[in-house]
């Protein structure tokens, strides 16, 4: 799985923005807002995003971005992960 994440991020492009542009908090929040899919997830902790095969799926990264956006805005802690179990 780590290799899949590395491969997905190797191009430094996730969704429609360059992750290397997210070097400051304000830019990171704007980038998350642009990529994030709405999430009604409210329970902190681990959140399964999908199967390992979903690592290359833009919608999956939108879910991850949505969780991180909620976390930054509400001082919550989410731990998105991918697994085939």
User: Tens digit of pLDDT for each residue in 50-73?
Assistant: 998 888 888 998 999 999 999 989
Residue whose tokens read 């919608």? 59
Residue 8 in 3-state DSSP? Answer: helix
CA 27, distance to chain mean position in Å, is 15
For the segment 25-56, what is each residue's pLDDT rounded down to a tens digit?
888 888 889 889 988 777 899 999 999 888 88
pTM across the whole model:
0.75
At residue 28, the pLDDT reads: 83
At residue 69, the pLDDT reads: 92
Backbone angles phi, psi at 10, to 5 degrees: -60, -35
Determine the angle formed by the axes of helices 58-74 and 25-35, rounding to 10 degrees. Answer: 130
Residue ranges covered by each domain of the chain: 2-82
Q: What are the residues facing 45 on neighbouring strands? A: 78
């Amino acid at each position: 799985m780590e290799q899949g994440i590395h491969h997905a991020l190797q191009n430094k492009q996730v969704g429609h923005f360059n992750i290397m542009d997210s070097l400051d908090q304000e830019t990171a929040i704007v980038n998350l807002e642009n990529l994030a899919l709405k999430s009604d997830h409210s329970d902190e902790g681990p959140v399964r995003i999908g199967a390992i095969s979903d690592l290359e799926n833009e919608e999956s990264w939108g879910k991850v971005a949505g969780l991180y956006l909620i976390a930054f805005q509400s001082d919550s802690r989410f731990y998105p992960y991918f697994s085939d179990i």
